[in-house]
Amino acid sequence: MAVAEQAQPASRAVRARQRRVREEELLVWPDLVFVEFISAVLFLGLLAILSVLVDAILLDQANPAVTPNPSKAPWYFLNLQELLLHMHPALAGVIVPTVALIALGAIPYFDTSNDYQGEWLTSPRAWPNLVVGAVVGTVGTTLLIFYDASFHVRFYEWIVNPGEDRFLPGLSEDGQPIDNPDFNAWPESLNWLKSLRSLQTEVNWPTELEAIPLGSKVLRTDLLGLPAIDLDVNFPAMVVEQIIPVGAMVGLPLLLSAAAWKVGLAQTRRDHMILQFSGFIAVYVILTIIGTFFRGEGLELVPYTIFAHH
């Protein structure tokens, strides 16, 4: 009480503000509890209807001897399984998700300002950053996947071969390649640009580079009580499986941020966070969609649904 009397100097404005804040408050019972109750009932109803109408999938009993083609992880991991097709498995399966989760958790420690919290995207430039991040993430990921599936090769051949036979040499009905001497194929000198992997397979790398002996002194597994490992580095494979993918995953987002900063789109840390987070979500969604609906037999890039199993 003594404190309250002493606190007289609080200006009228401050007291008015305090009163206004009080007035802007609602009682949790009924206002919030009611909303919660209604949405719980609503969603229980919707889920019950869904569960009556659509059955959970159940295939044949597990059989370790029969590998289905394709074999897929649960849908929320298909983004990682998609990455697996384009880079070293240790990167796709472990390092990328670990780094991504740590980066996600670190967001508040990077963007430390207190501004514009508690409202949907009210900071200046919030929406432009969201849209640019999402579009660049979507288009960029799609293009990279198309590149690795050699879509540009097919596109080129489609352009330079007018007329009926433009898709030849395709495969005849019994799966044999059709011999068509008039066909203008992708130039042989550019074979190394057919896909990411062709950089390794279509270039005459000196054989020394394919097995650079580093001996057992690099990975000191013996110190952990594990067998010693003689490390032979296959440089071309390393370029294709590690250096380029890491370069793309680290470099392209940095490039995006730098460009957005140059043109004044991303000025504050919150701007950069919105740009990057939106890009990340877009990449995540696109990889999941492609992994789920566009990877069929042999994980080829073709339309696919899980119900093909039935």
Stretch 53-112 residues interacting with other proteins (CB under 8 A): 54-64, 66-68, 71-77, 80-81, 84, 88-90, 92-95, 101, 104-105, 107-109, 111-112
Tell me the HSE value of 177 on the side-chain side, using a 13 A CA sphere. Answer: 5
Binders in 281-300 for other proteins, by CB under 8 A:
281
Write the interaction track for other proteins spanning residues 129-148; mark x where CB under 8 A is met and - where it is not. Answer: -x------------------
- Closer to other proteins by Cβ: residue 13 or 56: 56
Helix (H, G, I), strand (E, B) or coil at 229: coil
By CB under 8 A, is residue 194 in contact with other proteins?
Answer: no
| Residue 245 half-sphere exposure toward CB, CA atoms < 13 A | 23
CB of 167 to other proteins, least distance (A): 33
Long-range contact pairs involving 38-41 (C-beta distance under 8 Å, separation at least 24): none
User: Minimum CB separation from other proteins for residue 177, in Å?
Assistant: 31
Q: Considering only residues 5, 8, 11, 119, which one is a binding residue for other proteins as defined by CB under 8 A?
A: 119
Cα(247)–Cα(241) distance, integer angstroms: 11
191 contacts 150 by C-beta, under 8 angstroms: no
Instruction: Closer to other proteins by CB, 6 or 114: give it.
Output: 114
Q: Does 207 bind other proteins (CB under 8 A)?
A: no
Q: Does 226 bind other proteins (CB under 8 A)?
A: yes
Question: From the CB of 201, what's the least distance to other proteins, in Å?
Answer: 21
Q: How far apart are CA 166 and CA 155, in angstroms?
A: 10
Query: What is the size of the binding site for other proteins (CB under 8 A)?
Result: 84
Which C-beta is closer to other proteins: that of 35 or that of 160?
35
Q: Indicate the residue among 89 and 187 with the shorter CB distance to other proteins.
A: 89
From the list 138, 140, 121, the residue with the least C-alpha distance to 271 is: 121
Residue 233 CA to residue 244 CA, distance in Å, equals: 16
**Of 126, 139, 137, whose CA–CA distance to 265 is shortest?**
126
Q: Least separation, in Å, of the C-beta of 10 and other proteins?
A: 18
Distances (CA, A) of 300 to 82, 98, 145, 170, 308: 11, 27, 11, 16, 15
Given the rule CB under 8 A, which of 177-185, 190-198, 219-227, 231-239 is the region that contacts other proteins? 219-227
